[in-house]
């Protein structure tokens, strides 16, 4: 079992600590990336990832290691402190590079058997909108089960977080970790994800974008195959 954490900033504050606490409770091999230190490019809007291939993105090689870690992970944790009621610019810039993976284009089929967690903190508010910034991408990637944890820590650094808040963090991360461990190996996407996928399947039958149409046809998704019903050999070789 593997976990990858994408941190929306490079300093190790409350959000980072909570993400690490959760990863430790999950008990999996964990890989971490810090933005913008490990990736800090902005999408330049060339649309080549949509029209041709993601390999045509000018930042493809810089992003390759993180992409591989995401694909190999069983659990994806996106962690961002609240910046003006939203995720950090670094997190947004990072997620912008995966627009081609949304279900409307070319979703990676392994996402439909993964679990994801969105974590956000603030001294005050804004956790709901920040988590939505990140969970939107997880949903449209096809991630089967998504958890959210947002907390107003009433502090500007981890050392100033009260013991009462830290006890709550311990309880709630333990609860999420238990649910993740219980579902590991048998998680399936819900009705909303399957419904949206099927709407996209109807669009892809019309072949409105050549690169996407070819991808869906190759996967046989416009016919009877579905990404959450992968062949056993495919799952073993992921």
Q: What is the pLDDT of residues 100-118, one digit of tens each?
A: 999 999 999 999 999 999 9
Which residue bears the tokens 């959450």?
228
Q: Average pLDDT, stretch 81-91?
A: 98
Q: What is the CA radius of gyration of the chain?
A: 18
**115 within 8 A of 74, measured Cβ to Cβ:** yes
**pLDDT averaged over every residue in the chain:** 95
Residue 88, pLDDT above cutoff 70:
yes
Tell me which residue of 97, 89, 95 sits closest to 48, measured CA to CA: 97
**pLDDT grade for 206, boundaries at 50, 70 and 90:** confident
Query: 53-90 burial by CB neighbour count: b if 16+ within 10 A, else e?
Result: ebeebebeeebeebbebbeebbbbbbbbbbbeebbbbb
pTM of the model: 0.95
Residue 236, pLDDT above cutoff 80:
no
DSSP, collapsed to helix, strand or coil, labels residue 128 as helix
Q: Average pLDDT, stretch 16-41?
A: 97
Q: Are strands 29-34 and 75-81 parallel, antiparallel or unpaired?
A: unpaired
Residue 49, pLDDT above cutoff 50:
yes
Q: What is the pLDDT of residues 71-80, one digit of tens each?
A: 999 999 999 9
Q: What is the pLDDT of residues 118-177, one digit of tens each?
A: 999 999 999 999 999 999 999 999 999 999 999 999 998 999 999 999 999 999 999 999
DSSP, collapsed to helix, strand or coil, labels residue 209 as coil
Tokens of 113: 């058997």
Of the candidate ranges 94-98, 199-203, 206-210, the one whose mean pLDDT is the lowest: 206-210
Residue 19, pLDDT above cutoff 50:
yes
Q: Average pLDDT, stretch 23-49?
A: 97
Higher-confidence position of 235 and 48: 48
pLDDT score, position 208: 82
**pLDDT grade for 231, boundaries at 50, 70 and 90:** low
Residue 134 CA to residue 120 CA, distance in Å, equals 10
Higher-confidence position of 230 and 232: 230
**112 within 8 A of 141, measured Cβ to Cβ:** no
Residue 42, pLDDT above cutoff 60:
yes
Residue 58 CA to residue 35 CA, distance in Å, equals 18
Which residues make beta-bridge pairs with 81?
121
E strands, 72-207, are 75-81, 115-122, 145-152
**pLDDT grade for 238, boundaries at 50, 70 and 90:** very low
Tell me which residue of 110, 101, 129, 118 sits closest to 200, measured CA to CA: 101
CATH number of 2-167+180-188: 3.40.50.360
pLDDT score, position 37: 97
Residue 38 phi, psi (nearest 5): -90, -20
């Amino acid at each position: 079992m593997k976990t990858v954490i994408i941190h929306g900033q490079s300093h190790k504050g409350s959000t980072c600590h909570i993400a690490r606490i959760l990863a430790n409770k999950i008990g999996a091999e964990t890989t971490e990336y810090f933005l913008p230190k490990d990736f800090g490019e902005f999408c330049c809007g060339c649309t080549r990832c949509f029209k041709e291939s993601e390999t045509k993105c000018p930042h493809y090689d810089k992003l390759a290691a993180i992409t591989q870690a995401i694909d190999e992970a069983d659990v994806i944790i996106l962690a961002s402190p609240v910046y003006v009621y939203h995720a950090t610019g670094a997190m947004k810039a990072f997620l912008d590079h995966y627009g081609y993976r949304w279900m409307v284009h070319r979703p990676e089929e392994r996402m439909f058997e993964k679990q994801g967690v969105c974590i956000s903190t603030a001294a005050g508010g804004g956790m709901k909108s920040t988590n939505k910034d990140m969970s939107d991408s997880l949903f449209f990637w096809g991630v089967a089960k998504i958890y959210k944890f947002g907390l107003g820590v009433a502090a500007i650094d981890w050392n100033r977080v009260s013991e009462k808040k830290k006890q709550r963090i311990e309880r709630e991360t333990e609860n999420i970790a238990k649910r993740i461990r219980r579902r590991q190996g048998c998680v399936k996407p819900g009705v909303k994800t399957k419904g949206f996928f099927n709407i996209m399947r109807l669009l892809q039958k019309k072949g409105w974008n050549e690169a996407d149409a070819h991808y869906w046809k190759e996967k046989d998704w416009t016919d009877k195959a579905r990404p959450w019903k992968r062949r056993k050999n495919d799952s073993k070789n992921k």
